[in-house]
Amino acid sequence: MYTNFTKLRTEGRNSNFTTGPGSSAGGTIAGFLDRSGNIGLGYRGFGFDLRLQTVYRGKYLRANNAIAALVQWQEPKWTWNWKSRYTFKKGYGVFLDLENLFEVPLDRIYAAYPDRVISYRTFHTKIVGGITGRF
C-alpha cells in the first residue's frame, strides 16, 4: 500500500500572473495546482502484479478575470485505475489495464459558481491489454 499527498503555496506579487489588486480570484495563479495526491494498493506474487490506484487533483484556477463572474475554476476530481500483469515464465506475460474506471470527466470548468459549468469533457474507461516478452 502507498499514499502521497502534496500541498503547495505561492507567495509574492507578479503582475504577469494577475496576482495584484485587479484579480478577483484572491491572488491565485491560473494553472497552479496546490493540492494533489494518490493512493494505491497492490499485490505481487505467484506471477501476478495487481494494482488499484486513485489519483486526486484539487480545485484550481483556470482563468482569472477582474470581473468575478468570469473567473474560471476546474473542479477537483478523483481518477481510479486498475493495472494487472501476469508473468507465465521469465520474460513472458500478459497485461490488462483499465484507466478512469468510473468515467470521471477529464475536466469540468465553471465560472464563479460550481453550477455554472462552461466546459465539460469526458471520456470512457480506457482498456489496454497485450502480451509482453523479452528476448
Judged against a pLDDT cut of 70, whether residue 25 lies above it is answered with no
By mean pLDDT, which of 4-13, 21-30, 105-114 is the weakest? 21-30
Q: How many independent structural domains does the chain possess?
A: 1
How confident is the model at residue 27, as a pLDDT? 61
Residue 24 contacts residue 66 (beta carbons within 8 Å): yes
What is the β-pairing status of strands 2-7 and 117-121? unpaired
Judged against a pLDDT cut of 60, whether residue 128 lies above it is answered with yes
Residue 2 contacts residue 24 (beta carbons within 8 Å): no
Judged against a pLDDT cut of 80, whether residue 112 lies above it is answered with yes
Domain encompassing residue 47: 2-133
Nearest to 84, CA basis, from 42, 54, 50: 50
| 73-85 pLDDT per residue, tens | 999 999 999 999 9
Q: What is the spatial distance between Cα 20 and Cα 28, in angstroms, rounded to a whole number?
A: 10
Stated pTM of the model: 0.78
